[in-house]
Amino acid sequence: MKTFFSRLWHGETNGLTTAAFIVGGASMASRVIGVLRDRVLASSFGAGDVLDVYYAAFRLPDLLYTLLILGALSAGFIPVFAEYLETKGEGEAWRLAERVLSVIGATMLIVCSALVIFAPLLVPAMLPGFGGEKLEAAIKLTRVMALSPFFLGLSAVMGGILQATRRFMAFALAPVFYNFGIIFGALVLAPVMGVTGLAWGVVLGAFLHLITQSSVALRLGLRRIPAPSLRTEGVRRILFLMAPRTAGLAVSQVNMVILLSLASALPVGSIAVFNLANNLQSFPVGIFGIAFSVAAFPSLARAAGAGRNEEFRDILNSAARKVVFLLLPSTVIFILLRAQIVRLVLGTGVFDWNDTIRTANILGIFAVSMIFQALAPLVARAFYALQDTWTPLVAGVLSEAFNLTLAILLRNYFGIMGLAIAFSVAAFFNLLLLVWLLNLKRGSLGEGKFTLSAAKTCAASIALLGFGWLVRQAVGTVFPLHTFWQVALQAIATILMGMGAFIVVAILLKSEEFMEFHQAIAKRLFKRLPAISGAEEVQGR
Residue by residue, DSSP assigns 224-238 as --PPP-S-SHHHHHH
**44-48, 259-263, 306-310: least confident range:** 44-48
- If pLDDT is split at 50, 70 and 90, which confidence band does 293 have? confident
Are 133 and 269 a contacting pair, CB within 8 Å? no
For the cut 90, the answer to whether the pLDDT of residue 56 exceeds it is no
**Mean pLDDT, the chain, integer:** 78
d(CA 149, CA 166): 24
Q: Quick one: pLDDT at residue 4? A: 47
Q: Calculate mean pLDDT across residues 448-461.
A: 89
CB-CB contact of 149 with 68 (8 Å): yes
Nearest residue to 332 (alpha-carbon basis) of 513, 504, 189, 459: 459
If 0-12 CB within 10 Å is exposed, 13-18 middle and 19+ buried, where does residue 141 land? Answer: buried
pLDDT at residue 459 tops 90:
yes
pLDDT band at 500 (very low <50, low <70, confident <90, very high): very high
pLDDT value for 528: 42
Query: For residues 533 and 301, what is the distance between their CA atoms, to the nearest angstrom?
Result: 11
Whole-model pTM? 0.65
- Which of the pair, 257 or 404, is modelled with greater confidence? 404
Q: What is the CA radius of gyration of the chain?
A: 23
H-run or E-run covering 391: helix 390-414
Residue 270: half-sphere exposure toward Cβ, Cα within 13 Å:
18
Q: Which range is most confident: 15-29, 243-257, 266-280, 419-433?
A: 419-433
**Is the pLDDT reported for residue 353 higher than 80?**
no
Say whether pLDDT at 264 is over 90: no
Region at 89 (left for phi over 0; alpha for psi -120 to 50; beta for the rest): left
Instruction: Please check whether residue 299 is in contact with residue 315, taking contact to mean a CB–CB distance below 8 angstroms.
Output: yes
Find out whether 406 and 425 touch, Cβ atoms under 8 Å.
yes
What is the distance between the alpha carbons of residues 540 and 114, in angstroms, rounded to a whole number? 26
Asked whether 71 and 538 are in contact (CB, 8 A), the reply is yes
Neighbouring CB atoms inside 10 A of 475's CB total 19
User: How many C-beta atoms lie closer than 10 Å to residue 193's C-beta?
Assistant: 14
CA pseudo-torsion sign 190, 193, 196, 200: negative
pLDDT at residue 490, as a whole number: 87
Tell me the residue length of the chain.
541
Higher pLDDT among residues 345 and 101, named by residue: 101
Q: How far is CA 389 from CA 46, 164, 258, in A?
A: 42, 18, 25
pLDDT-derived band at 25, boundaries 50, 70, 90: low
Question: Which is higher by pLDDT, 7 or 443?
Answer: 443
More confident residue, 31 or 529: 31
pLDDT-derived band at 137 (thresholds 50, 70, 90) equals confident
User: What confidence category does residue 538 fall into, taking pLDDT thresholds of 50, 70 and 90?
Assistant: very low
Worst-scoring range by mean pLDDT, 126-135, 267-276, 458-467?
267-276
Of 274-288, 338-352, 386-400, 408-422, the poorest mean pLDDT is in 338-352
- How confident is the model at residue 441, as a pLDDT? 82
Per-residue pLDDT at 396 exceeds 70: yes
Looking at residue 496, what is its pLDDT?
Answer: 92
Lowest mean pLDDT of 43-47, 175-179, 407-411, 525-529, name the range: 525-529
Determine how many CB atoms are found less than 10 A away from the CB of residue 272.
15
pLDDT at 530: 38
Q: Assign 539 a pLDDT band (cuts: 50, 70, 90).
A: very low
Band of residue 540 on the pLDDT scale cut at 50, 70, 90: very low
Handedness of CA 328, 329, 334, 337 (dihedral sign): positive
Count Cβ atoms below 10 Å from residue 311 Cβ, excluding itself: 17
Q: Exposed, middle or buried by CB within 10 Å (0-12, 13-18, 19+), for 356? A: buried
Residues 365-383: what's their mean pLDDT? 90
pLDDT-derived band at 174, boundaries 50, 70, 90: confident
- The closest alpha carbon to 295, from 190, 419, 180, 171, belongs to 171
Q: Smallest Cα–Cα separation from 179: which of 65, 287, 24, 37? A: 37
Among 280-289, 391-400, 414-423, 426-435, the least confident range: 280-289
Cβ contacts of 220 within 8 Å, gap of 6 or more? 94, 161, 165, 167
pLDDT above 80: residue 431: yes
Q: Is the pLDDT of residue 162 over 60?
A: yes
pLDDT in tens, 327-348: 999 999 999 998 888 887 766 6
Least confident of 56-70, 231-245, 320-334, 407-421: 56-70
Backbone angles phi, psi at 413, to 5 degrees: -95, -40
Q: State the burial class of residue 10 (Cβ atoms within 10 Å of its Cβ: 0-12, 13-18, 19+).
A: middle
Question: Contact, 175 vs 24, CB < 8 A?
Answer: no
pLDDT at 318: 86
pLDDT tens digits for range 195-214 = 888 889 999 999 999 999 88
Residues 321 and 458 sit within 8 Å (Cβ to Cβ): no
User: Of 105-109, 144-148, 263-267, 522-526, which range is least confident?
Assistant: 522-526
Residue 286 CA to residue 435 CA, distance in Å, equals 20
Summarize the confidence of residues 292-320 as an average pLDDT: 82
* Predicted confidence (pLDDT) at residue 47 exceeds the cutoff of 70: no
Percent of the chain with pLDDT over 70: 77
367-406 in b/e burial notation, b at 16+ Cβ within 10 A? bbbbbbbbbbbbbbbbbbbbbbbebbbebbbebbebbbeb
Q: Please tell me the predicted confidence (pLDDT) of residue 462.
A: 94
Least reliable range by pLDDT among 3-7, 66-70, 190-194: 3-7
pLDDT of the residue at 497: 92
Residue 517: is its pLDDT beyond 90? no
pLDDT score for 233? 80
Q: 461 near 502, Cβ under 8 Å?
A: yes
**CA–CA gap between residue 185 and residue 194 (Å, rounded):** 10
Average pLDDT over residues 436-444: 83
**Dihedral angle over CA of 416, 419, 420, 425, nearest 10:** 160
Residue 76 confidence (pLDDT): 73
